[in-house]
Amino acid sequence: MPVRSSVRGFHCLYFLLVLFLLCGGCSVNPATGKKELALFQVPVAEEVAIGEKTFPRALQQMGGEYPDPRLNGYVNDVGRRLGRLSQRPDLPYTFRVVNDSTPNAFALPGGFIAISRGLLVHLENEAQLAAVLGHEVGHVAARHSVQGMQRGTLFNAALAVLSGVTAETGYGPLAEQAGQLTASLLENSYSRDQERESDMLGIDYMVRSGYNPTGAVQLQEFFYSKIEGGAEPGWLAGLFRTHPFSRDRMLANEDYIRVNFPQALRDPRHELRPKPFLDATAGLRKVQPAYELYEQARRLEAGDDLVGAIETYLRALEIAPNEALIYTGLGLASIKAGDLNPARRYLIKSVQLDGDYYQSHLGLGYVHLQQEDGAAAVQSLERSMELLPTLQGGFLLAEGNEKLGRKQKALELFRAVAEADPKGKLGRTAAERMRTLESR
């Protein structure tokens, strides 16, 4: 009898849970109008808040924003036209070019979208760009990232951001939680159904914007060329890791265009617009050979060939002497080689060219610390932490404050790192430094 009673009780609880999910735990997909199960609701204002909090971090984690205001403005204009024609036109759509060689594009909740330098340089016309950005707008319109949080996969981190507790400027467990949410959103893989849905939505948006859907066909054929016979490593590590692609998906999109937009394929008012695109990306294509050398140098550095890496970075700068990211790579490689004076010169040059990338300031702060310039170190490290709070930045900033005699500030930072990384080497070292400092 007790066993039967407990089984009946379990079935009753299970039924009530299912009933709750079906009746109270639903959200509506704005793009399709379909009801979807959700463990908790994310209002639009909170969705936008998540995007606002995580987007700057995402850009920093992928090399920073590419420092070309004209190019970023062009991409933003194309993207926002598509967003205004989506099912969610009132979102604050923001589009940026991220300074990463890996071919990629991503969308965060609330309409915050980026395309990488490494993908943009492979495109040939504005219609192809619109196909990429329209696809990402489709993910936003259908709330695909939010669906993952609603199903509970990012539940705890999302709640922390929604509550606003991660708005603090210091580094600690809460800031670490926001960083984890950013990384999780970037790593979130879409299902094949979500990819197909975003493909079709993106095609709808680009046709409404006056683009020829041939651009989407060209894009899909280009993607297929990257997986036919074995995908290229760079594409596997980027776009295709989170956006699964297949020949069936390409053919389905071609059928969708043929059935729904046959007139747009032939209508001269629906354009591919190659000239505006090529004009806007001319500078990017000019420095592409330098970035190929930059990636070669990074591979040499990863293989501990620092001499070869530094020589290759210098060759890259001969082609593109004003690319800040290449100076950053050269400066960090020089630190590894123990050459602090040239490292300082390269990193200062990087900051002069682009002061909005955390790695440049982090490296420069480390050099200043090693050269006993505490004030300069703190200034560089504070800027690094403003751009992207990191454990390493927090630890080095604590050391800088200790050098300046700011005991309480140093203790606060060491404690934050120790709490954020209690089992890690840096966290344990921070705890030891904190105890030593407290005993003085």
Pair 27, 123 in one domain: no
Domain final position from 236, 251, 275: 275
Instruction: Please state, in angstroms and rounded to a whole number, the distance separating the CA atoms of residues 177 and 325.
Output: 27
Pair 59, 31 in one domain: no
Helix axes 425-438, 407-420, angle to 10 degrees: 150
Q: Looking at the domain assignment, is residue 281 inside a domain?
A: no
Pair 258, 307 in one domain: no
Q: Looking at the domain assignment, is residue 86 inside a domain?
A: yes
Q: Look at residue 59 and give its three-state secondary structure.
A: helix
Instruction: Please state, in angstroms and rounded to a whole number, the distance separating the CA atoms of residues 284 and 236.
Output: 22
Strand arrangement of the beta sheet that strand 112-116 belongs to: 94-98, 112-116, 105-108
pLDDT over 80 (residue 24): no
Half-sphere exposure of residue 193: CA atoms within 13 angstroms, side-chain side: 3
Give residue for tokens 């690319």. Answer: 323
Q: Looking at the domain assignment, is residue 280 inside a domain?
A: no
pLDDT over 80 (residue 36): no
Domain count, the chain: 3
Pair 166, 71 in one domain: yes
Q: Looking at the domain assignment, is residue 145 inside a domain?
A: yes
Distances, alpha carbon 160 to alpha carbons 115, 148, 180, in Å = 27, 16, 11
Domain final position from 275, 301, 327: 275
The band of 23, judged by pLDDT with boundaries at 50, 70 and 90, is very low
DSSP annotation of 238:
T
Q: Give the count of beta carbons closer than 10 Å to the beta carbon of residue 416.
A: 27
Give the pLDDT of residue 172. 60
Quick one: 319 exposed, middle or buried, by C-beta within 10 A (0-12, 13-18, 19+)? middle
| Beta strands 112-116 and 105-108, pairing class | antiparallel
Round the average pLDDT of the chain to a whole number and report it. 85
Q: What is the mean pLDDT of residues 161-182?
A: 57
> One-letter amino acid identity for 167?
A
Instruction: Please state, in angstroms and rounded to a whole number, the distance separating the CA atoms of residues 427 and 277.
Output: 48
Q: Look at residue 397 and give its three-state secondary structure.
A: helix
Task: Give the CATH number, domain containing residue 415.
Answer: 1.25.40.10
Q: Looking at the domain assignment, is residue 282 inside a domain?
A: no
Is residue 193 within 8 A of residue 139, CB to CB? The reply is no
User: Which pLDDT tens digit goes with each residue over 57-89?
Assistant: 999 999 999 999 999 999 999 999 999 999 999
Pair 270, 329 in one domain: no
Q: Which of 26-30, 99-103, 326-330 has the lowest mean pLDDT?
A: 26-30
Pair 94, 242 in one domain: yes
Is residue 30 within 8 A of residue 142, CB to CB? The reply is yes
pLDDT over 80 (residue 291): yes
User: Which pLDDT tens digit goes with each residue over 46-55?
Assistant: 889 889 988 9
Q: Looking at the domain assignment, is residue 186 inside a domain?
A: yes
Sign (positive or negative) of CA dihedral 408, 414, 420, 423 = negative
Phi, psi of 34 (to 5 degrees): -85, 145
Give the pLDDT of residue 16. 36
Q: Looking at the domain assignment, is residue 52 inside a domain?
A: yes
Q: Looking at the domain assignment, is residue 149 inside a domain?
A: yes
Is residue 31 within 8 A of residue 138, CB to CB? The reply is yes
Is residue 217 within 8 A of residue 257, CB to CB? The reply is yes
The band of 123, judged by pLDDT with boundaries at 50, 70 and 90, is very high
Range of the domain at 8: 2-37
Pair 204, 295 in one domain: no
Instruction: Please state, in angstroms and rounded to a whole number, the distance separating the CA atoms of residues 127 and 134.
Output: 10
Pair 346, 369 in one domain: yes
Length reported for the chain:
440
Instruction: Please state, in angstroms and rounded to a whole number, the distance separating the CA atoms of residues 244 and 191.
Output: 7
Instruction: Please state, in angstroms and rounded to a whole number, the distance separating the CA atoms of residues 237 and 154.
Output: 22
The band of 238, judged by pLDDT with boundaries at 50, 70 and 90, is very low
pLDDT over 90 (residue 190): no
Give the pLDDT of residue 1. 41
Domain final position from 275, 303, 318: 275
User: Which pLDDT tens digit goes with each residue over 294-329?
Assistant: 999 999 999 999 999 999 999 999 999 999 999 999
Pair 313, 414 in one domain: yes
For residue 341, what are its two tokens? Answer: 């004076």
Instruction: Please state, in angstroms and rounded to a whole number, the distance separating the CA atoms of residues 313 and 290.
Output: 9
Pair 48, 153 in one domain: yes
Pair 226, 295 in one domain: no
Pair 267, 118 in one domain: yes
